Copies of this chain bind each other. A is one copy, B any other.
Amino acid sequence: MEKEIERCEAPHDHREFVAQIRETMPSEERLYDLAELFQVFSDSTRIKILFVLFRSEMCVCDIASSLNMTQSAISHQLRVLKQMRLVKNRKEGKTVFYSLADDHIVTILGQGMEHILE
Contacts and interface: CB of A to CB of B under 8 A. Distances in A.
A7 B58 CA distance: 13
Contact of A10 (B3, B38, B70, B95): B95
A83 interface: no
A31 B55 contact: no
Contacts of A18: 62, 65-66
Contact of A47 (B22, B34, B105, B109): B34
A61 B10 contact: yes
Interface residues of A, number: 65
- SS of A interface (majority): helix
A44 B37 CA distance: 10
Contacts of A112: 34, 37-38, 104, 108
Contacts of A61: 6-8, 10
Interface of A: 3-8, 10, 12, 14, 17-18, 20-22, 24-26, 30-39, 41-44, 46-48, 51-52, 55-56, 58-59, 61-62, 64-66, 68-71, 85, 95, 102, 104-105, 107-109, 111-118
